[in-house]
Structure 1
């Protein structure tokens, strides 16, 4: 097989343990990649401003694949490699679907995360900001006037994060959004749905970086656990599923770790990948 030159890695349920921390073993394994000239790229459904503190922990200043591939940016310099937003009309329809099913939602824009109220993930981000240095803080905007917010930020809205009130509401919300917009709402966590522009995935973003860095698809690997990781695991030269991954992701992967995200599974994955290249 070709030598691996770029590894894309999901965060939640993959790189991060159940306490949302990166283990010492994972940090050390990623540091070894740098000595071999291998790019380690975070590929997440999160906004890239939520990744800054983790990049500091890893000692990396690399582009981040964020919003499930809708934005690729180096978050400290703000150098933008790729951005594919939702249309304003699409966002308004998604919001109406959320209201119909009494689901909370947040909108990920280029530089700000918006919510109507300081609830769900917005509350978590706000609390986390209290412990972060200024350069790592997450910009938040809380306002009931969602129509004005959408109008004021046209062309810069990359993802809608939906928090359904109950598990049984997931399918109904997904069907409503697809019927109204043709967009798929992907499950990114056991409690969350993500909506980005049609055809935009983490795999698309890996392709963007490969073109930028002159790396062939066969020289890439991807590590993940949830359905929003499926496309990149299928696209990469080597796909790796965590032990805790959902069944469809495991079926698509060439490697399945024997350890979970809470047991340094990424360190295991990197060791096995280096053994293949």
Structure 2
């Protein structure tokens, strides 16, 4: 019997409208009623993910920033963080400036960018009507390096984005030369720079130890590259129907897509 569910948000629990369907809500709540701990494991920052945890009335800690941070959704207490060093941030940003590619970073849940690219505009528009603790604060600044240098809090991640996949891959290959960072992708148009050793899998291991739950008692559901460490750590892994084939190949089961209530189907089949 599974005692813990680890579920990604975008492309997994959320449909294309960035909503949790009624069917997914129903089966998550049924799992919770059985005493199963439901853990959201997202690449999003805390303020961008918290709204969904509260919508589901989740009580357990939440994994955000692709595993860089674990927070309590009730008290906002930080259980764990593994953040980028200033030195690594500066090395990466120097490379990104050289290739003139868009990037943003998050310092204490505030998004900083040096220009209003499509990503910054998207966050500004999508969160403007949300209440303050769910809103993503976006600031366009002259120098992200200056913000990082003067801030007490270190960044959780740097997000690099481009609609040109060749340019993105070229820059990613160069950034990977920084030895003390790790890189993951959560979509075809981005890659994210994390501190070395950060992953959803490591964060899930920490949470499972908090509750004395073994790997074989965990079922994980995800759809993208950044979910792979979590999918590999869990005793049973489920890929979404909208995942790329190579992700489906490493998982124990492939469910329906995120627009077909794939999470609900997996819970119904393997948990309830």
TM bucket by the smaller chain? over 0.9
Taking the aligned partners of 1:247 and 1:93, their CA distance within structure 2 comes to: 34
* 1:7 partnered with 2:28: no
TM-score of the aligned structures, taking structure 1 as reference length: 0.92
Taking the aligned partners of 1:18 and 1:194, their CA distance within structure 2 comes to: 21
* 1:269 partnered with 2:266: yes
Which residue in 2 is equivalent to 1:192? 190
Q: Which of these residues, 230, 233, 256, is aligned with residue 232 of structure 1?
A: 230
Taking the aligned partners of 1:15 and 1:227, their CA distance within structure 2 comes to: 16
Q: Deviations over 1:3-22 (max 9, x none)?
A: 21111111111111111111
Change (3 A) 1:126 1:62: farther
Q: Deviations over 1:184-203 (max 9, x none)?
A: 32221111111111121100
SS of equivalent to 1:102: coil
Which has the higher mean CA deviation after the structures are superposed, 146-155 or 21-30?
Answer: 146-155
Q: Deviations over 1:215-236 (max 9, x none)?
A: 1121111110111111111110
**Per residue, is there more helix in 1 or in 2?**
1
Which residue in 2 is equivalent to 1:168? 166
TM-score of the aligned structures, taking structure 2 as reference length: 0.94
Taking the aligned partners of 1:103 and 1:184, their CA distance within structure 2 comes to: 19
SS of equivalent to 1:125: helix
SS of equivalent to 1:250: helix
Which residue in 1 is equivalent to 2:56? 58
Which residue in 1 is equivalent to 2:148? 150
**Alpha-carbon distance, 1:97 to partner:** 2.1
Structure 2: unaligned runs, 5 residues or longer:
none
**Alpha-carbon distance, 1:177 to partner:** 0.6
CA RMSD of aligned residues (A): 1.6
Change (3 A) 1:98 1:260: same
Taking the aligned partners of 2:115 and 2:75, their CA distance within structure 1 comes to: 30
Is contact 1:49–1:75 with CA below 8 Å preserved after alignment? no
Q: Deviations over 1:117-174 (max 9, x none)?
A: 3333222221122221223222333211222111123552111111024111222112
**Alpha-carbon distance, 1:108 to partner:** 2.1
Is contact 2:93–2:145 with CA below 8 Å preserved after alignment? no
Q: Which of these residues, 53, 69, 73, is aligned with residue 71 of structure 1?
A: 69
Structure 1: unaligned runs, 5 residues or longer:
none
Taking the aligned partners of 1:82 and 1:207, their CA distance within structure 2 comes to: 12
SS of equivalent to 2:47: helix
Summarize the alignment of residues 1-277 of structure 1 with structure 2, pairs less than 5 Å apart.
Answer: 3-153=1-151, 155-257=153-255, 259-274=256-271
**Alpha-carbon distance, 1:26 to partner:** 0.6
